[in-house]
């Protein structure tokens, strides 16, 4: 079975469509979306409709979906750019989109996989499991029954063991980087972000998991050109920084 895991689309329809086109050539049979379909970008309703219409997909709630449902808490905890984007997104969301978002789970466990946006430990605390946060990674995996736990939220590709040690240094994860897992592994894997890539990966990224060959592979969408998305962001009342991060 081949699974594609992606995260943090952030209302970027152009990057989402490019990812779906790219993954369609890889024999992907199932999808998992690790949350933050919305926020920052110009097409929240279109991205929710596109992701939710995929067959064989598991989707968990991200902090940007949570913010839609918990506006007061979000206003107190989110950074100003993220919060301003949420205020704009609130105004755009259709009732259908809002209903869809409100039905998402924080965490899904399925066979050897757990899908969660931030951490399997207190998923609604939205901790950032960056490389170097060994304690956070270890705590996450301690609270996951699965061999493989997939997280997003940081917008940075990563793979770490149950001690929180990186199995591949984040800066060395490139397009085509593959990790071959064993049955005894208990690992945390981050695919990076589709719609707002940060860190070393300046292009959208996702992973495939091939359960026949036991391989996890990162894919980077080098063909993504942010020009159209940037134009659309700047034509709205979204913060201009939302475009800046795409256009570096």
- Contact residues: Fe ion, CB under 5 A: 8, 36
Question: CB of 81: closest distance to Fe ion in angstroms?
Answer: 12
| SS3 per residue for 76-108 | HHCCHHHHHHHHHHHHHCCHHHHHHHHCCECEE
**Residues 6+ positions from 50 with CB-CB distance below 8 Å:** 13, 16, 17, 20
Q: By C-beta, is 181 or 189 nearer to Fe ion?
A: 189
Question: CB of 111: closest distance to Fe ion in angstroms?
Answer: 26
**Pairing of the two strands 30-33 and 2-6:** parallel
Q: By C-beta, is 8 or 127 nearer to Fe ion?
A: 8
Q: By C-beta, is 34 or 159 nearer to Fe ion?
A: 34
Question: CB of 23: closest distance to Fe ion in angstroms?
Answer: 20
CA 44, CA 137: separation in Å to the nearest integer? Answer: 30
Question: CB of 195: closest distance to Fe ion in angstroms?
Answer: 8
**Pairing of the two strands 148-150 and 113-116:** parallel
Residue 186 tokens read as 């208990």
91-126 burial string, b = 16+ CB within 10 Å, else e?
Answer: eebeeebeebbeebebbbbeeebbbbbbbbbebeeb
Q: By C-beta, is 22 or 117 nearer to Fe ion?
A: 117
Tokens 């919060």 — which residue? 83
Question: CB of 64: closest distance to Fe ion in angstroms?
Answer: 6
Q: By C-beta, is 120 or 151 nearer to Fe ion?
A: 151
CA 117, CA 107: separation in Å to the nearest integer? Answer: 8
| Residue number with the smallest Cβ distance to Fe ion | 36
Question: CB of 153: closest distance to Fe ion in angstroms?
Answer: 6
Q: What is the DSSP string of 221-243?
A: -TT--THHHHHHHHTTTS-THHH
Question: CB of 8: closest distance to Fe ion in angstroms?
Answer: 4
Q: By C-beta, is 8 or 65 nearer to Fe ion?
A: 8
Q: By C-beta, is 164 or 195 nearer to Fe ion?
A: 195
CA 46, CA 206: separation in Å to the nearest integer? Answer: 20
């Amino acid at each position: 079975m081949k699974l594609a895991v992606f995260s943090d689309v952030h209302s970027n329809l152009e990057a989402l469509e490019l990812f779906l086109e790219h993954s369609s050539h890889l024999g992907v049979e199932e999808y998992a979306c690790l949350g933050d379909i919305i926020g920052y970008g110009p097409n929240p309703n279109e991205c929710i409709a596109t992701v939710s219409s995929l067959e064989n997909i598991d989707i968990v709630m991200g902090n940007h979906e949570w913010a839609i449902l918990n506006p007061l808490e979000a206003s107190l905890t989110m950074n100003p750019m993220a919060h301003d984007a949420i205020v704009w997104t609130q105004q755009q969301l259709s009732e259908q989109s809002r209903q869809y978002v409100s039905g998402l789970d924080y965490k899904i466990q399925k066979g050897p996989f757990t899908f969660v946006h931030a951490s399997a430990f207190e998923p609604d605390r939205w901790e950032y499991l960056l490389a170097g946060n060994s304690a956070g990674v270890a705590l996450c995996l301690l609270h996951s029954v699965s061999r493989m736990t997939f997280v997003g939220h940081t917008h940075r590709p990563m793979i770490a063991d149950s001690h929180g040690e990186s199995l591949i240094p984040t800066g060395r994860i490139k397009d085509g980087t593959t990790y071959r897992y064993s049955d005894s592994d208990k690992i945390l894997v981050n695919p990076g972000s589709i719609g707002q890539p940060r860190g070393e990966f300046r292009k959208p990224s996702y992973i495939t998991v091939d359960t026949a060959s036991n391989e996890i592979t990162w894919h980077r969408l080098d063909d993504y050109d942010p020009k159209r998305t940037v134009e659309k962001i700047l034509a709205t009342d979204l913060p201009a920084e939302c475009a800046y991060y795409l256009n570096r």
